Copies of this chain bind each other. A is one copy, B any other.
Amino acid sequence: MAASINRQVVLTARPDGNPRESDFEMREGAMPAPGAGQLLVRTIWLSLDPYMRLRIGDNEQYFPAVPLGDVVIGGAISQVVASRHSDFAEGDYIEAYSGWQDYAVVDGGAARKVDATLGPLSTALGVLGMPGLTAYLGLIDVGKPEPGDTVVVSAASGAVGAIVGQVAKIAGCRAVGIAGSERKNAYLTDELGFDAAINYKTDDIAAALDRACPNGINIYFENVGGAVSEAVYPRLAPRARVVVCGGVSQYNLKGPQTTVSNLQNILFTEAKVGGFNIFSYEARYEDGRQRLARWLAEGRLKYKEDVVHGLENATAAFLRFFDGEVFGKLMVKVAQ
């Protein structure tokens, strides 16, 4: 039974540097009605991800920006309340980029039915969703791991990084994670099976990489940019691959980004550096999801969720990516 009002978080200002609470506003809208071919859905889980910082900025290169006054975009798992599309029935669970709101109208063609047999519902936004596919397809399709490779991943305890390291292990590689606390690093090595973990806040990153990667770095999965990136490039092994998946340390910079990737090292090592945007790999999603689901069922993939309750807390939770701490896949439980 749907309520008569629909709470929505809208973007009221483009962030100037670090996003702030005041860039967002909660408003109450009318309940939307589905047209032909559409679904009315109720949001259950909302996914919070660092890339969303790019979508609320004025950068149009990566993806169209969310217009001011519009509902903040984001992936969600919802339940169908009313269906006017023959592929969906009331009660179905779907994944769609339906944004930060209690209810949404979604085109049937833009919704994906969630297969609840693959894992708990929330995994459709994590290990079996966009972050898991980003890790799997970025590592496999761009990184091209070979057994025996040393794979370094930054933001390693995050939703993407943790899967990168575990898939690297499955592929016969050594996994070295870079994260921001001892607690996260202990999780990487003790629970996820990473071979080594580096604390970018307290370790000398360059010296720690030398210790953890005595034969150099064959694959670097880049999630952060900045100082970590600068320490990695001089340590690339011959024919190394760099997967440029994200650069969260750079997203809030106001001036030109200053990451030094050191082209000389790319020349000397004949490295391949490839930008990776998961949204270009849709044709590969199902293959990736089936493999991840199998490993999940076999207990070879573990995951951790950082759950916030209530749509009203989505903004504050999102801001933790930039000025707080996130440990695991950050999600908002909007409804039961």
- Which residues on A are within 8 Å of B, measured CB to CB? 59, 61-62, 222, 225, 229, 234, 244-247, 250, 256-277, 280
Contacts and interface: CB of A to CB of B under 8 A. Distances in A.
A259 B270 contact: no
A61 B269 CA distance: 7
Chain A, interface SS category? loop
Given A259-B261, A265-B275, 18 more contacts: A59-B268, A61-B268, A225-B263, A234-B256, A247-B264, A247-B267, A250-B263, A257-B260, A258-B260, A260-B261, A261-B262, A261-B266, A266-B274, A270-B274, A270-B276, A270-B280, A272-B273, A272-B275
A256 B260 CA distance: 10
A268 B257 CA distance: 13
Contacts of A266: 244, 261, 273-275
Contacts of A245: 267
Nearest to A246: B267
A138 B239 CA distance: 15
For the complex of A and B, the 9 pairs showing the least CB-CB separation, nearest first, are A61-B268, A273-B273, A270-B275, A266-B275, A261-B261, A62-B268, A244-B266, A267-B275, A259-B263
Contacts of A259: 260-264
Contact of A268 (B267, B271, B275): B275
A257 B229 CA distance: 14
Given A259-B264, A263-B225, A263-B261, A274 B271 contact: yes
A198 to B, nearest CB: 19
A264 B257 contact: yes
Nearest to A63: B268
Contact of A272 (B222, B264, B270, B272): B272
A61 B236 CA distance: 10
Contact of A269 (B229, B265, B268, B275): B275
Nearest to A226: B263
Nearest to A261: B261
A250 B247 CA distance: 26
27 contacts: A59-B268, A61-B265, A222-B263, A225-B263, A244-B263, A244-B266, A244-B267, A245-B267, A247-B263, A247-B267, A257-B262, A258-B260, A259-B260, A259-B262, A261-B266, A263-B273, A265-B275, A267-B275, A267-B276, A267-B277, A268-B275, A268-B277, A270-B275, A270-B277, A270-B280, A271-B274, A273-B274
